[in-house]
Amino acid sequence: MEQPIKILIVEDNVIIADDMQSMLEEIGYEIVDNVIVYEQAEEVLRTQQVDLVLIDIILASDKTGIDLGKHIRENYNIPFIFVTSNSDRATVENAKTVKPNGYLVKPFEQQDLYTSIEIALSNFTYGAEKSAGEDSGSMEAPMSNSVLKDSIFVKKQHLYYRIQFGDIQFIKADNVYLEVNTVDKKFLVRSPLKDYLEKLPKNKFYRAHKSYIVNVDHIDAINSKDIMINNTLIPISKDFKEFIISAMNS
């Protein structure tokens, strides 16, 4: 069974910190700890497994969240996101010096928090994989604490459902929404089709048409204009048809 993403919250406003923890646990993340100062965060990072850190820039200690970000960059191979009320140019420029994986301005909604975390994890994992691929001279690629996920969260009503990538059959663009189709369910997601494709495994999901992403493992049939997935006809582009035919003949 896949382990949940382990998150450390570093926030000196106890009410905000508790609210963040509730939001994250409702989605399915695991909170390793909820601390208020640099020194406590340093202790947790040293003694426990952490996959991602949410950091308030202004902390109740001499050392700031930016100091903590620098410490993480120098000692740990994990992503972190600044969560702050400050969005002025000086603060942002200062934050950029430690290269955070995200910057979330308070107040925010649960969906904003979820999106920031998923993008940070996705980009961080992709960057680690790319670096490992380029370092062909080493016998072993460096391991990241970031958990390689085989699923994605999709919101339906007031809940976030965890969907295995393999269960997604196809995704259809419908105006500003995407319709994510599994074997027995449909979910609406507000996202551009191109951006959503980047979150999916590149060896399984392809842009079959300007309005469709398909999971090639679920293609049941093909003709000159369409493919069939679960009795649904999906139009395909010329390039995708040539790609499928080439794969069939290889």
Domain boundaries, the chain: 6-123, 152-249
Closest CA to 20 of 86, 95, 116: 116
CA 101 to chain centroid, in Å, comes to 11
Cβ 69 vs Cβ 78: under 8 Å = no
* Cross-strand bridge partners of residue 118: none
Segment holding 232, helix H or strand E? strand 232-235
Distant-in-sequence contacts of 194-198, Cβ < 8 A, 24+ apart: 196/171, 198/122
How much is the pTM?
Answer: 0.55
Residues 17-74 pLDDT 10s: 999 999 999 888 999 999 999 999 999 999 999 999 999 998 988 999 999 999 999 9
Cβ 154 vs Cβ 189: under 8 Å = yes
| Topology classification of domain 152-249 | OB fold (Dihydrolipoamide Acetyltransferase, E2P) (2.40.50)
CA 171 to chain centroid, in Å, comes to 18
Query: Would you state the pLDDT for residue 107?
Result: 86
Q: What is the CATH number of domain 6-123?
A: 3.40.50.2300
Query: Would you state the pLDDT for residue 229?
Result: 95
Residues 65-113 pLDDT 10s: 999 999 999 999 899 999 988 878 888 898 999 999 999 988 888 888 9
